[in-house]
Amino acid sequence: MTNTRPILEVKKLNAWFGDHHAVRDINLLVNEREVVACMGPSGCGKSTFLRCLNRLHEEVPGATVDGTVSLGGQDIYARNVDPVIIRRKIGMVFQKPNPFPALSIYENVAVGLRLAGVRNTRILNEAVEKSLRKAALWEEVKDKLKAPGLSLSGGQQQRLCMARALAVEPPVILMDEPTSALDPISTAKIEELIIELKKSVTVIIVTHNLQQAARISDRTAFFLLGELVEYDLTSKVFTNPKDTRTEQYITGRFG
């Protein structure tokens, strides 16, 4: 945590599903190259919050957003901004590994660059290898790049999804419970990977696994009923949280 330059600034963010007010007045500052963990009970709004950060929330019919999210000083909700461009800068990895079923391992990683107009094979080859290395998958797949993405194990598929997200070199990656469908060994690999990624990327991760948040994040945000209850250094939140609701949640005394 040597660098404390803010990269993402959320101000008065509110989100609705129709009448349901799912995210309420969130203000939060994320520093460059930090890992931020978002935790809270089911339905607390943390995933919706995450999906507001790269304009995925608005894709749900009836969903609306209000407030600002600034990436490097630019509001991603400004009128002239194309959400597709934003999603290239703020990548996402989902709960269930979702490689493109019809595509090979290679094409799964290259797809983002191809969509961005890259045609040069040498550039694509280099980017695919670099991304797979960053996702700690290269050694396992370098001899079968033409095999379908779905031929990999669950943990490998999730790392493939990370490689796919990394290929377009986004400054920020969002992860929505990326290890909840994985076994402990694959989970440990993904966690190591996230810590490694911090050298170049900012990661915002939603997790139900408190120990995972404690292990990998620099800061932790605790959400409850759509509100941000506490946002502080992870070492503080997990040893001596300020708010009694945070304390009750992480010690399992909730409700």
Partner 1 sequence: MERHFHTELRQLKDQILAMGGYVERAIEEATQALIRREPERFAKVMEAETKINQAHIDIDEHCFSLLARQAPLAADLRLILALLKINTDLERMGDQAVNISHNAKKYLEEPPVQFLLEITKMAFEVRSMVRDSLDALVKEDGQLAREVLKKDDSVDNLKNQMFRDLIALMKKDPSTIEAAIDLLLIARNLERLGDHATNIAEDVIFVTTGKDVRHKPRES
Residues forming the site for partner 1 (CB under 8 A): 210-211, 214, 238-241, 246-247, 250-253
Q: Which CB sits closer to partner 1, 150 or 210?
A: 210
Q: How far is the CB of 237 from partner 1 (least distance, A)?
A: 8
Please state the separation of Cα 177 from the chain's center in Å. 8
Tokens 């502080």 correspond to what residue?
232
CA distance 104 to 122: 18
The DSSP bridge partners found for residue 8 are 30, 71
Q: Which CB sits closer to partner 1, 45 or 241?
A: 241
CA distance 42 to 208: 9
CA distance 165 to 127: 12
Q: Which CB sits closer to partner 1, 29 or 188?
A: 188
On whether the CB atoms of residues 94 and 42 are closer than 8 A, the answer is no
Q: What is the DSSP string of 159-180?
A: HHHHHHHHHT--SEEEEESTTT
Q: Which CB sits closer to partner 1, 76 or 205?
A: 205
Q: Which CB sits closer to partner 1, 8 or 38?
A: 38
Q: How far is the CB of 214 from partner 1 (least distance, A)?
A: 7
Q: How far is the CB of 234 from partner 1 (least distance, A)?
A: 11
Q: Which CB sits closer to partner 1, 134 or 219?
A: 219
Q: How far is the CB of 207 from partner 1 (least distance, A)?
A: 14
Q: How far is the CB of 143 from partner 1 (least distance, A)?
A: 39
Residues 188-226 as b/e (b if ≥16 CB within 10 A, e otherwise) read: ebbbebbeebbeebbbbbbbebbebbbbbbbbbbbbbeb
Q: How far is the CB of 87 from partner 1 (least distance, A)?
A: 34
DSSP β-ladder status, 63-71 and 74-75: antiparallel
Q: How far is the CB of 137 from partner 1 (least distance, A)?
A: 29
Q: Which CB sits closer to partner 1, 133 or 208?
A: 208
Largest CA distance in the chain: 57
CA distance 31 to 16: 26
